[in-house]
Amino acid sequence: TDILLVLQVRLIMKAHSFIRENVPRVLSSVKDKSGTVHLPRISQYLYFLFAPTLIYRDNYPRNPTIRWGYVATKFAQVLGSLFYAYYIFVRLCIPLFRNSSQETFNLRGLVLCIFNSILPGVLILFLVFFAFLHCWLNAFAEMLRFADRMFYK
């Protein structure tokens, strides 16, 4: 359910950007009574839905070719990040909580459990950000030939 919520928020943000960019165009052509309204094509909107950006433009800079070796490297990094996160869970998190579940509850045990899980939690947080925001989105940007990787600068 969390994944569906994240996808819905992303689609709402993209729809807002699309409407915000195109409504002024339509309103200005109606006010000028020019009769010609430049509306985006369906292919432009579909490309925007999958492109790693939240700002709608009719055209984005595109690379001439797809570097499949780069895509494979990024997906391998995602896979490696998942295995490393699994290793962190198995080695650092599961034994800690397995032992704490067998003991009676006390404040000292809770504080020790929290402090012992800070480092693995931060490592997993960094891995998630690296795997998704860097590797996953760059792989899809390359497959869509999205050239402007520094778009938000």
Beta-bridge partners for 62: 146
Give the model's pLDDT for residue 56: 92
> For the segment 54-96, what is each residue's pLDDT rounded down to a tens digit?
889 988 888 899 999 999 999 999 999 999 999 999 998 888 7
**Sequence-ordered strand ranges (E) for 1-153:** none
Q: How do the domains of the chain map onto residue ranges? A: 1-59, 61-152
* Contacts for 122 with CB less than 8 Å, ≥ 6 apart: none
Under 8 Å between Cβ of 74 and 142: yes
Separation CA 2–CA 50 (nearest Å): 20
What is the pTM (predicted TM-score) of this model? 0.73
> Which H, E and C letters describe 96-128, residue by residue?
HHHHHHHCCCCHHHHHHHHHHCHHHHHHHHHHH
pLDDT tens sequence across 105-149: 788 877 888 888 899 999 999 999 999 989 998 999 999 998 877
For residue 63, give both structure tokens.
């690379």
A 10 A CB-CB count for 61 gives 11
